[in-house]
Structure 1
Amino acid sequence: MEARDTRTLMIVLLVAAVVIAGGLTALIRFAIRTPGGRLTHRQGMRLVLWLGAVVPTILLFTLLVSELPAMRPLPVAPADLRVKVEGEQFWWRVTYAPPGQAPVVAANEIRIPVGRTVQFDLDGGDVIHSFWIPGLAGKMDMIPGRTNTLVARATKPGRYRGVCTEFCGLSHALMAFDVVAMPAAAFDAWLTAERRPALATATAHPGAALFAQYGCGGCHAIRGTAQAGAIGPDLTRFGARATLAAGVLPMTTANIAGFVRHPERTKPGVRMPAFPQMTDAEAIRIARYLEGLK
């Protein structure tokens, strides 16, 4: 909704700029073609007063008054959904906190219901980040130790690209996310399913043992298993996401395997350790295990 209001304001300003430019062009043409002495000094001063002071003041005052309501944030009710987002180097920790229910933890992808107000509680987990969804809402800094809020409401289903707009390290430009706006009923069903542990068929995959053997559970959590790390992204529904590495790579087996072994090749400065001792076959098995987490 905020993005729509911004677009409307941009169109109004563009139309006003074109009208003003057209008026000035016509005035210049009139001044060039008008014979000297046609206007008296008094008439010239009156023309300057009206076109240089009175008319611009009225236009600017009208624009200010008409757009002041758009500067107010959307009202938030106690029953509205709250989503906590923490910026990390270089990914997004997402926690859904629906009223009266236990929180649900995810990462790098945000889902919201269409037509409902959502409050984003924004925090910087390590350094200053900035949260921006150009097609949906405004921009807000994420500062460690301080929670800023951003309120948004999607008016139609769709996928909105989000980015970090504050330099936060070597991979600042490789830190994106998607906001998926879903019909309200579909979102409620999705959030209910999101609470469940990972499927037993997925956790029984041969790659699960390798995941544990390489100590991946020290940083990552997978609900329903013994892996309960909280340093890195929660991977319980990893396979259901459209991208990996915070919006950088398509979700393919080869990309997952490559990122598991050498994350620094995709994201310079990332805190996730590399596993050069891991074989290609082992990386593929872990990748296929992670793909099954849906």
Structure 2
Amino acid sequence: MKRLILSAAAGILLSGCSGRQSVLAPAGADSTSLLTLFWVMLVGLVVIWLLVNGMMLFFHHLSPRHYDEGIARKLIVGGGIVFPTVVIAALLAWGLSMMPDQRAPGSGLRVEVMGEQWWWRVAYLPEGADAPVISANEIRLPVGQRTTFQLSSAEVIHSFWIPALGGKMDMFPGRETILTLEPTQPGTFRGQCAEFCGASHALMAFEVVTMEPDDFAAWLEEQAAPAVAPDGAAATRGAIVFAEQGCGACHAVRGTPAVGQVGPDLTHVGSRLSIGAGILAPTAENFAAWIDHTGDLKPEVDMPAYDDLPEADLTALATYLEGLK
């Protein structure tokens, strides 16, 4: 029974050592450095722990006899003070030497991210671009290039964190903080707000996609283009419902009269990997559930639930949003 309990506990602990939101599965230059720092620090501390506690065990339990005062003093000073101090100082100096690399400037692309309650406003500013490319709740980055994040918050303190790519950075109202990250391999990862920010803090996530530079450039060009109206009678009806319900007062769909800036930009929302800031897949059924039960899915969110829409209009609106690729 004891072995079974230990095996189950080990399985639970090890299950958190991999995956797309694990610091132990790095996919960036910064996260790799941080993981190396963690392991080296851990080894150093284990060595100190073994030495100090080993001395206590030996002299107090295994060989409890009288020792020469001079020898005892050397053991206490050398093993209990000098050795730990030297090891910790060396680890500290080595750790501090890594900090300049963690703050290295970006190589061209800038991404502005503002934490809202509870979603992420995102704007890409490529070098030489005339205007930013607006998105929300998803971040895409080129592999092998260091991107600069300009972080801020609208109302409360948030913390921007992509564990697989690097460390976290707090976001403050009225103040801009800077973070740079360099992905080293393509993949899909998960970011998360790491600072308690209100009722839906745990539901404030975002998808992160790292892409080869050419693929990223093509994707960014597509994102800069206006929305293409989806085909089909249901989607056409959904665009009318979108306008009639005043959705454009809060949301923007470039290429249409909808120019709202209160909520997330929906120009290409159907092409994103999630809706509701990382909580639902972008299917028509989930769009309908989000519109109909917004506050139930994300407590205290500002968007009201449109639970009085006729079923046909709700389905049409969800179909329209899913078709915005």
TM superposition score normalised by structure 2: 0.85
Partner SS, residue 58 of structure 1: helix
What's the counterpart of residue 168 of structure 1? Answer: 197
SS at match of 2:220: helix
Alignment of 1:207 onto 2:238? yes
Structure 2 equivalent of residue 97 of structure 1: 125
Q: 1:112 offset after TM fit, Å?
A: 0.5
- Within a 5 Å distance, the mapping from 1:225-236 to structure 2 comes to 225-236=256-267
**40-49 or 67-76, which deviates more:** 67-76
The question of 1:133 aligning with 2:162 is answered yes
Instruction: Supply the distance in 1 between the matched residues of 2:198 and 2:80 (Cα, whole angstroms).
Output: 48
- The alignment yields a C-alpha RMSD, in angstroms, of 1.7
Task: Flag the structure with higher strand content.
Answer: 1
Give 1:188's aligned residue. 217
1:87–1:123: 8 Å Cα contact kept in structure 2? yes
Q: Secondary structure at the match of 2:140?
A: strand
Answer yes or no: is the 8 Å Cα contact 1:260–1:274 preserved in 2: yes
**What code does the residue aligned with 1:182 have?**
M
Give deviations 1:36-82, integer Å, cap 9, x for gaps.
23x311111111111012211211121122111222233215x5211
Q: Which residue of 1 aligns with 2:296?
A: 265
Q: Which moved more, 1:246-255 or 1:104-113?
A: 246-255
Match of 2:65 in 1: 36
Are 1:202 and 1:293, in contact at CA under 8 Å, matched by a contact in 2? no
Displacement of 1:16 after TM fit?
Answer: 2.1
2:176 partner letter: T
Equivalent position to 1:114, from 125, 130, 143: 143
Asked whether the equivalents of residues 52 and 79 of structure 2 are also in contact (C-alpha less than 8 Å), the reply is: no
| Sequence identity percentage | 46
- SS for the counterpart of 1:244 is coil
Point out where structure 1 has 5 or more consecutive residues left out of the alignment: none
Q: Could you tell me how far 1:202 is from its partner in structure 2?
A: 4.8
**For residue 125 of structure 1, what is the amino acid of its counterpart?**
A
Superposition pairs for residues 121-160 of structure 1, below 5 Å?
Answer: 121-160=150-189
Q: How many Å apart are 1:224 and its aligned residue?
A: 1.3
| Match for residue 39 of structure 2 among 11, 21, 24 | 11
Which residue type is aligned with residue 173 of structure 1?
A
Unpaired segments ≥5 residues, structure 2 = 1-28
Are the aligned partners of 1:86 and 1:94 in contact in 2 as well (CA < 8 Å)?
yes
Cα 1:153–1:100 change in 2 (3 A) is same
Counterpart CA distance in 2 for 1:169 and 1:36 is 60
Residue number in structure 1 paired with 2:4: none
8 Å CA contact 2:156, 2:173 repeated in 1: yes
From 84, 93, 96, the equivalent of 1:65 is: 93
Deviates more, 1:226-235 or 1:66-75: 66-75
Is the CA contact 1:129–1:166 (under 8 Å) kept in the aligned structure 2?
A: yes
CA distance in 1, matches of 2:118, 2:248: 19
Structure 1 residue 159: deviation in Å? 1.7
Q: Which residue of 2 aligns with 1:292?
A: 323
CA-to-partner distance for each residue in 1:57-116, whole Å, 9 max, x for gaps? 211121122111222233215x52110001111110000011110210000000010110
Q: Which amino acid aligns with 1:161?
A: R
Question: Which of 61, 78, 103 is 1:50 aligned to?
Answer: 78
What SS class does the counterpart of residue 208 from structure 2 fall into? Answer: strand
Counterpart of 2:252, as a letter, is A
State the partner residue of 1:23.
51
Could you tell me the TM-score, scaled by structure 1's length? 0.94
Between the two proteins, the alignment pairs up a number of residues equal to 292
